[in-house]
Copies of this chain bind each other. A is one copy, B any other.
Amino acid sequence: MSISPLQQERYQYEPKVPTALAERIEKLGAVESDEPLESEISDEIKKQFPHTAGRPVLRFRAGEGRAAEQRPFRVAVILSGGQAPGGHNVIAGLFDGLKKVHPDSQLFGFQNGPGGILDDDCIELTAELVDAYRNTGGFDIIGSGRTKLESEDQFKRTAEVFRKRNLDALVVIGGDDSNTNAAVLAEYMEREQTGVQVIGVPKTIDGDLKSRYVEASFGFDTASKTYAELIGNIARDANSARKYWHFIKLMGRSASHIALECALQTQPNVCIISEEVSEKGQTLDEIVDQIVTTIVRRAKRGDNFGVVLVPEGLIEAIPEMNALISAINELLGENERYFATLKTFEDQAEWINKKLDRDRSYLFSTLPSEIQRQLLMDRDPHGNVQVSRIDTERLLVDMVDTRINEMKTAGSFHGRFSHQDHFFGYEGRCAFPSNFDADYCQTLGMTAGLLIACGANGYISAVRGLARPSSEWEPGGVPLVGMMTIERRKGKPTPVIKKALVDTSDKPFRRFEEQRETWAVETSYRSPGAIQYFGPPAIADQPTLTIQLEHS
């Protein structure tokens, strides 16, 4: 890796942490707050977490509460799952927090995700190494991985490795799944009296690890601002060239927070929100209709151009598509042998069409043949349709295109329709963290270190008041079990941290809903521009519109 001028300059940036954390360590204490937990602890949760359930929310304040134990700590950290801007800052904040607790504390990193623990592949994160990664994007300091730590055997192995290496605690930087597993591991460590503490840190660009106390997952700010930069540029191009409809697919498989934030930032003509589609039970046809109507209305004004945002998980949010996919999975499961004798796509399509009920057969027949092909032929090792690989924005574009051509032929559309397609995801996951994410992650990391020194286990590092200036943020710890609900998985009651989807009754969606009719027809584009790390706070330090609205 080679160092650019911006990277060189970002080394000088000192993240702005809350006043509370700037206190000397002697004065800092973890106060047991009387704030209620995220959700009531159910009997099943109590049964599954007998040792760690029932703990209070903790807040760090000056001169109050349980003081940090001022001894050298040996702590390990892992990065779990997809990249998010700010991961390096969490690690730097954790390093600084532990050094604040005691200058002889040491931080270690297991490499390439949770699998690194099982492989006992560990390096010390020295001051020199950490400094080289301050305020940079990426997870490359120790790499990330997608191995899940969830079985009793894996926990046992983890405890062994931690005992061998004489480690006090593990910090898991990850999303909803990784934090769920962190809670189960914390319970294991306490049950087995290993003395190892486990602390989670909320990461995901998707923004769907969010609750009363975890106001945002880190990385969402930088990633959505990067996408909004590009969408704003494209919208300005559309309005200059007056030639193309740009269909832009955005990352966000389960939740549409990214699409919603980008819509608020850039004011496109159409933005589909999966949660709304799911709630209203919209059909594929209705969604295509909404886009076509907008194209027609704009064409009448002479505006044969526009911008459409689509979340990548849309297809799974359309109830009828979900039902169709289940039906196909079921049919192919039941008739595996016979289906295997059908060699051509045409024969397969004919057979499935006969087997499906009327509505589903009709829906199947309206899909572009490329998508039909994917549904029948592109299957995972269990024989299931690979929903995640179906290209939602291609599907929409094809169907819109067909509809517009039909209207042209019928003489009911007199405009032009040409399109360009884009997908933004990898562009934003490893950007230099925005000042917000740099500050937030430094705070999350320091807080994780302090939680360890105050003896916490099974907590997630959590910061309240994110819509206010960072000096006023309230750092603390929230029991992971308090974020859990029970779901039946494989027939067993399983604790999970539910993904926080877009709440269509909350202010961000309502703001979008109020304005989208205007945005649809008029050209109301807004260019947020590239993320600025310098300059006036109104530009360089603002959180997302999502956070601003949620806390307004």
Q: Which residues of A contact B (CB under 8 A)?
A: 1-7, 9-10, 82-83, 112, 136-140, 143-144, 226, 229-230, 232-234, 236-237, 239-242, 244, 246, 265, 267, 420, 422, 426-432, 523-536, 538-540, 542
Contact = CB atoms under 8 A, between A and B. Distances in A.
A239 B420 contact: no
A184 B377 CA distance: 59
A242 B524 CA distance: 40
Q: Lowest 7 CB-CB distances: which A-B pairs, in order? A: A534-B535, A530-B530, A236-B430, A6-B529, A138-B236, A139-B240, A2-B526
Given A137-B233, A240-B143, A246-B426, A525 B431 contact: no
Contact of A240 (B83, B533, B536, B539): B83
A137 B527 contact: yes
B524 A4 contact: no
7 contacts: A1-B523, A1-B526, A9-B536, A9-B538, A138-B527, A140-B240, A229-B530
B233 A530 contact: no
A144 B305 CA distance: 14
B136 A527 contact: yes
A170 B419 CA distance: 33
A533 B6 CA distance: 12
Integer count of this chain's copies in the complex:
2
Contacts of A265: 4
A163 B429 CA distance: 56
The main secondary structure of chain A at its interface with chain B is loop
Contacts of A246: 426
A527 B432 contact: yes
Contact of A233 (B267, B427, B536): B427
A137 B232 CA distance: 10
A389 B427 CA distance: 25
Nearest to A519: B2
Of the listed residues A233, A244, A540, the one surrounded by the most CB atoms of chain B closer than 10 A to its CB is: A233
A271 to B, nearest CB: 15
A232 B138 CA distance: 10
Nearest to A4: B528
A144 to B, nearest CB: 6
A465 to B, nearest CB: 21
Given A2-B525, A236-B430, A525-B1, A9 B230 contact: no
A429 B232 CA distance: 11
Contacts of A3: 526
A237 B535 CA distance: 27
Given A4-B232, A233-B427, 11 more contacts: A5-B528, A5-B539, A9-B535, A9-B539, A138-B236, A237-B430, A431-B529, A432-B527, A533-B535, A534-B535, A534-B536
Contacts of A9: 535-536, 538-539
Nearest to A528: B4
Contacts of A10: 529
A345 to B, nearest CB: 16
Contacts of A140: 236, 239-240
Nearest to A235: B430
Contact of A428 (B1, B6, B233): B233
